[in-house]
Structure 1
Amino acid sequence: MSISIQEQPIVSVVVPTFNRANFLPRAISSILQQTFSNFELIIVDDGSTDNTDEVVKEFTDPRIMFLALGKNYGGGYARNQGIKAASAELIAFLDSDDEWLPNKLELQLKRLQDSDDPDATVIYGLGYECAEGQQKIPSLVLYEGDVLDHLLRGWLPPTTSLFMVKRSALLGVNGFDESLPSFQDYDLWLSLAAANNHFLAVNQPLIIRYFHDQQIRGNLVAKSTGLEIFKTKWGEIMKQRVGYIEYWRFISLKTSIIQLIRVGKSVEDGKKLLAWGYVIGLLKYLPWSANMIIKGIVLSTLGNNGYRAIFLFKSRINQLIKGYKTYQY
């Protein structure tokens, strides 16, 4: 379907980016290739110091708006600026290092149109994950309607790139919490659910989420600080609604992930004793840290390259087993 530039867009697509000029063309192209075309694309440059602006200029589609913030404020602020600049009632998000599958918008709009739930404002779905050239659909239970208790128990769709949300609902909870250096998406979904915004799900892959060296460790200070703010904001609600055990399980899992990143960073810096100290520290969070302890032992013993080699070997074995089962069937 072709549209004129004057037509009011039905969807505003918000893409925050910071120094991702090498990935951004893939993301932009996947949006422009959507089977549903009545949208505007708002690219929010959060103070990039690479050639992001030149990359965007290569795309001449009139639906693109480039919003340069001038300095780095953080993902929450950048997304909020995109929401404020949007002219459509439906906001869809895409991280600049991911890509959408061609029918992403079409499937989400159809799911919303087919719903008879007057409180439905959030639409998400499944997605592929791609790491080290290996692509899979991770296990995700799809919940609909009131999902607050599921979120409080730790259920979380893995990326904002999966989501489409009504702008009025986003503004109703003041968008992303800009005080959070991490956990911003989790906090937003909790805020929306707590305000009686219901979720709808598309039981099909909508995106490809990529993992790469620029994001593997991330900012440890931001992750730790974000978790502490998140605990202060939602901890008591978690304990009251789903119980202390569920709360401690959540904290244990999230802390264990941060601790494993510390293990990898210590090994990379040649500080193996420190790495082993972090592995031992994971014992505090048993039984929920068991998987991270195993990964930490492998990392501390074999290093990052050895860990990566085992990951690739395991992925290929799983693919062979899956292919064999499919052949047998």
Structure 2
Amino acid sequence: MIKEVKAVEDLSVMFVSIILPVYNRQETITRAIESVLNQTFPHFELIVVDDASTDATSEVIKRFDDDRIRLIKLAENLGANAARNVGIKEAKAEWVAFHDSDDVWMPQKLEKQVTLAIQERAGSASIIYTSFLRFKSGETEYIPAKTGQEKQGNIHNQLLLGNFISTQTIMLKKEQLEAVGYFDETMPRFQDWEIALRLSRQYEFLWLDEPLVHVFYSNESISADNNKLLQAYEIIFQKHRDMFEIAGSYYLANLLFSYGHNLLLVGGYKKGRKLLFLSLLHRFSMKSLISLLCSFLGHRTYKRLYRYFNTIK
């Protein structure tokens, strides 16, 4: 059941540290920061971690005259996950939220999460996340999609089937991040899925079904790099295979299919076919069988069939 957010008289009892990593985003960082400063909930610090930008990003940030902004400049480029971890360790607040330099928060995003945290006394167990809109190639997608899957409470098994939580939407306690070991700095993509898998093993989630974050996908985004996608699948597979095995053959087969299918989309035939075959061994599905057979028709044909039917994901 989706929680209804009711008014809370005094929100000043809470203070939130917002962490925003940035690298060479002089064109979008102003919009991202303004969307935080325009929050209806004012009790926060905004920790902007400049990951050794080589453009005018830091100069743009310094133009803001607001004592709530803290700028940390890294001496070398460490990657977004390392920058987030620096921000977490510097955070002064008990509660932490995240933002990205390409994206926009809606004005009531933080207020609604804080209100729910106070209302539910979420101090002990819950991580609070919201829905979001993803803008990609002229299309808008509402995430999480309206399906029959449970989206709050114990959602570990649902997350094993694929991620529906974006880093920019979550608010949680700093101690929860410390307990699971921060963001994995080796993850080139899927960092939100990877940490959600670890967090959901220990904590329950509360869901605000409102699109309180707008996520903008571009060709320059990390999420647009296919090589990094495949690297991320390999890390998830090697690091968390036990999670999928414990959950059951259905979950492991789904991971093997997703990894193998994405390998085939970029021409990785040998390993892709092996993973699809392993998926079939763990749990038979027509989707896996048809995908395996279609892989012998060639890379271009496989991609055309995928786009045409739009059922193999």
TM-score bucket (shorter structure): 0.7 to 0.9
Separation of aligned partners in 2, 1:122 and 1:89? 13
Separation of aligned partners in 2, 1:83 and 1:216? 21
Query: What TM-score does the superposition give when structure 1 sets the normalisation length?
Result: 0.74
Separation of aligned partners in 1, 2:83 and 2:41? 25
1:231 correspondence with 2:256: no
One-letter amino acid of the counterpart of residue 85, structure 2: N
One-letter amino acid of the counterpart of residue 209, structure 2: N
- Is 2:223–2:229's contact at 8 Å kept on the other side of the alignment? no
One-letter amino acid of the counterpart of residue 216, structure 2: Y
Separation of aligned partners in 2, 1:229 and 1:18? 24
Partner of 1:126: 131
1:184 correspondence with 2:191: yes
Q: 1:236 to 1:130 in 2, by over 3 A?
A: same
Q: 1:155 to 1:230 in 2, by over 3 A?
A: closer
1:256 correspondence with 2:278: no
Partner of 2:3: none
Partner of 2:4: none
| Match of residue 39, structure 1, among 32, 44, 59 | 44
| Match of residue 248, structure 2, among 238, 243, 257 | 243
1:150 correspondence with 2:158: yes
Partner of 2:106: 101
One-letter amino acid of the counterpart of residue 19, structure 2: V
Partner of 2:26: 21
Q: Helix, strand or coil for the counterpart of 1:22?
A: coil
Separation of aligned partners in 1, 2:40 and 2:213? 14
- Is 2:256–2:276's contact at 8 Å kept on the other side of the alignment? no
CA shift digits 1:167-220 (9 cap, x unpaired):
1111111211223333322221122222x2221111211100111121276444
| Match of residue 214, structure 2, among 208, 213, 216 | 208
Paired-residue identity, %: 32
Number of matched residues?
Answer: 281
* Aligned-pair CA distance for 1:250: 2.2
Q: Helix, strand or coil for the counterpart of 1:137?
A: strand
1:162 correspondence with 2:169: yes
| Structure 1, gaps ≥5 residues long | 1-6, 263-273, 302-306, 311-329
Report the RMSD for the aligned CA atoms in angstroms: 3.3
* Aligned-pair CA distance for 1:59: 1.3
| Structure 2, gaps ≥5 residues long | 1-11, 280-285, 309-313
Q: Helix, strand or coil for the counterpart of 2:126?
A: strand
- Is 1:119–1:198's contact at 8 Å kept on the other side of the alignment? no
One-letter amino acid of the counterpart of residue 73, structure 2: A
Q: 1:176 to 1:245 in 2, by over 3 A?
A: same
